[in-house]
Amino acid sequence: MPVHKPHRRLLNFIPLAFVQKKVGGGGQRAVVASLSLTSMIDFLVVTVVFLLMSFSASGEIGMPKGIQLPKAENVMDMLDAPVVAVTDRQILVDGNSAGNVGSVIEADRLQIIEELRTILKQKREMWISIKGKETPFPGVVVLTIDQNVPALVVKSVFQTAALSGYPNVSFMVDTLPHAK
């Protein structure tokens, strides 16, 4: 059997020329190309869902579970500052552990929390190295404290923040509904 040049062979045996031309494609591609939109729509849906799940509003902040904030009427918008969260067991700075409440309660006196002080000083030094010494350091820290935490712990955290270079302390609270 001799070797032939590759070509279309489908329905080549039909002797009618117009059938062979239509079936064989006539050497041309089809004018109308079909475009499958399914994969493109799937990609766009996955991208939109990802972006919606990862979006965070500027004032939105992650808070440890179990913190019940006190309520207040006079409130301000959230500041861009380190957040010190105090639960009934531990102290967190921006979600990272910075001490425990038990040691303050056991001491039964006002004290400096060294782990918290170290982390806050590092954050202050990092801010100064990024912004430069020309820009004054705002010294703002936001305390997110469970309403059931003893006052001794609140005072110790407050004092530690102030001595670490954060004299402007704000408390995160829930807003009360306005009565009309």
Where do the domains of the chain lie? 17-53, 71-175
CATH class of the domain comprising 71-175: alpha beta
pTM for this prediction: 0.58
Q: What is the pLDDT of residues 99-142, one digit of tens each?
A: 888 888 888 888 888 999 999 999 889 888 888 888 888 888 98
DSSP per-residue codes, 97-128: EEEEHHHHHHHTS----HHHHHHHHHHHHHHH
Whether 68 has a pLDDT exceeding 70, the answer reads no
